[in-house]
C-alpha cells in the first residue's frame, strides 16, 4: 500500500481552478517532491492531503485514512510543517516543543529532537530571537514532535540564505534516515534534485510528469555536448563516424561534439588513439531545468 494516495483531485476557489485531476502515490520511505512555480496548486494539493481543505472531486488517502473523516487518527501519523508558521514571540524553543508534544498520544522525545535539529543550545531562547534558519528548524521539529510516519514540508527553505538552506537539506536527509516518509513542496529545482527520490512536476493545477530526477531529465533529453581544444589538428570525420555522435562543429580552435549514450568515452578514445590531448574539456548535460522547460514550456523562475 502506498503511504499517500491522491486520485483525480480537483479543487476550485470560486471561478479559479487551483488543482485539476491531480493523481500521485507516495511510497514508504520516499522523499517525494511536488515541484512547480508559484500558484501551480502545490499548497492546495497538500492541504487536501492534510485534511485542511475539502476536495471538490477525487480521493485522498494517508496510510489508508481519509484526511477529512479520520482527523484524529491522521494527526497521529502525519506531521505538518506549515508554510511560514509563526509562533508567539516570547515562547521559548523548549516551551513550544513541550506544548506541541502535549497534543499527541506518543510524542517524540523533545530533547532528542533538539539534538538532531541542532537546537539544544537554543532551548531557552525566545522564538523572536532565533535566526530565520533556526526558526525553520524549530518548525521542522514541531512537524516531527508527534513521531509521524509521514511529514509534509511546504516551501521549507524559502527565505533562507544558501548556507542555511544547505543545512536544512542535510537535516531533511537526517529526518529521512530515521524512517520518515516525506512529502516535500518546493519551487526550487536544486532542492528537488538534491533531496527527492521522485518528483511530481505540477503547473497550472496539473501534474505533467512523475519520475525520478534522472528519469525526468532522460525523458526530455539524453543529449550531451562536449567541448575541447585539441592539442593537434583534428578532422570532423574522425568523430562523425562514431554511432554515439550526432553533430561535430568547429568554432575557432574549439571542437564541439554533441551526442548521446557513451559519447564522451567514444570521443576521448579516438583522441587517445591519435595521441591528441583535449584541452579545456567540458561536458554539458541536460539537467532538471531543461526537463522542466521541456515539460512546461518555460523556465522555473
- Which residues make up the interface to ligand ATP (CB under 6 A)? 13, 16, 18, 36, 38-44, 187
3-state DSSP assignment of residue 183: strand
CA distance 23 to 32: 13
| CB closer to ligand ATP, 152 vs 245 | 152
CA distance 29 to 176: 7
| CB closer to ligand ATP, 55 vs 259 | 55
Report the candidate in 226, 221, 222 with the shortest Cα–Cα distance to residue 270.
Answer: 226
The CB-of-100 to ligand ATP minimum distance in angstroms stands at 24
| CB closer to ligand ATP, 108 vs 210 | 210
Cβ proximity of 157 and 188 under 8 Å: yes
The CB-of-60 to ligand ATP minimum distance in angstroms stands at 15
The CB-of-187 to ligand ATP minimum distance in angstroms stands at 6
Residue 126 is classified by DSSP as: B
The CB-of-26 to ligand ATP minimum distance in angstroms stands at 17
The CB-of-52 to ligand ATP minimum distance in angstroms stands at 11
| CB closer to ligand ATP, 130 vs 183 | 183
The CB-of-45 to ligand ATP minimum distance in angstroms stands at 7
CA distance 65 to 47: 15
| CB closer to ligand ATP, 52 vs 266 | 52
Q: Tell me how far the alpha carbon of residue 214 is from its chain's centroid.
A: 13
The CB-of-293 to ligand ATP minimum distance in angstroms stands at 18
| CB closer to ligand ATP, 18 vs 257 | 18
Q: How many CA atoms lie within 13 A of 4 on its CB side?
A: 33
CA distance 70 to 118: 34
| CB closer to ligand ATP, 36 vs 133 | 36
CA distance 49 to 54: 9
Residue 121 is classified by DSSP as: G
Cβ proximity of 221 and 286 under 8 Å: yes
The CB-of-9 to ligand ATP minimum distance in angstroms stands at 11
> Kindly report the CA angle at 140 between 137 and 145, in degrees rounded to 5?
120
* Lookup: cell for 43: 499548497
| CB closer to ligand ATP, 36 vs 110 | 36
Cβ proximity of 108 and 134 under 8 Å: no
CA distance 163 to 167: 6
CA distance 101 to 145: 6
Amino acid at each position: 500500500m502506498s503511504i499517500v494516495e491522491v486520485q483525480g483531485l480537483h479543487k476550485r476557489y470560486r471561478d479559479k481552478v487551483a488543482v485539476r485531476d491531480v493523481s500521485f502515490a507516495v511510497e514508504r520511505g520516499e522523499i517525494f517532491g511536488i515541484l512547480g512555480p508559484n500558484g501551480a496548486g502545490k499548497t492546495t494539493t497538500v492541504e487536501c492531503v492534510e485534511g485542511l481543505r475539502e476536495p471538490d472531486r477525487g480521493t485522498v488517502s494517508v496510510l489508508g485514512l481519509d484526511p477529512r473523516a479520520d482527523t484524529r487518527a491522521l494527526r497521529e501519523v502525519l506531521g505538518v510543517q506549515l508554510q511560514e508558521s509563526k509562533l508567539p514571540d516570547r515562547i521559548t524553543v523548549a516551551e513550544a516543543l513541550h506544548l506541541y508534544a502535549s497534543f499527541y498520544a506518543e510524542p517524540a522525545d523533545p530533547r532528542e529532537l533538539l539534538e538532531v535539529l541542532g537546537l539544544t543550545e537554543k532551548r531557552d531562547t525566545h522564538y523572536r530571537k532565533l535566526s530565520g534558519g533556526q526558526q525553520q528548524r524549530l518548525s521542522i521539529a514541531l512537524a516531527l514532535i508527534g513521531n509521524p510516519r509521514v511529514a509534509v514540508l511546504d516551501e521549507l527553505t524559502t527565505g533562507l540564505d544558501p548556507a542555511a538552506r544547505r543545512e536544512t537539506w542535510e537535516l531533511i536527509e537526517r529526518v529521512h534516515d530515521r524512517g520518515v516518509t516525506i512529502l516535500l513542496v518546493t519551487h526550487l529545482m536544486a532542492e528537488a534534485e538534491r533531496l527527492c527520490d521522485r518528483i511530481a512536476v505540477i503547473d497550472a493545477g496539473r501534474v505533467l510528469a512523475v519520475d525520478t530526477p534522472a528519469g525526468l531529465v532522460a525523458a526530455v533529453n539524453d543529449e550531451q555536448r562536449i567541448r575541447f581544444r585539441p592539442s593537434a589538428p583534428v578532422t570532423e570525420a574522425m568523430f562523425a563516424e562514431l554511432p554515439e555522435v550526432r553533430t561535430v562543429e568547429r568554432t575557432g580552435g574549439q571542437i564541439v561534439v554533441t551526442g548521446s549514450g557513451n559519447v564522451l568515452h567514444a570521443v576521448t578514445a579516438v583522441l587517445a588513439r591519435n595521441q591528441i590531448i583535449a584541452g579545456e574539456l567540458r561536458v554539458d548535460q541536460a539537467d532538471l531545468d531543461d526537463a522542466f522547460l521541456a515539460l512546461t514550456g518555460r523556465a522555473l523562475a
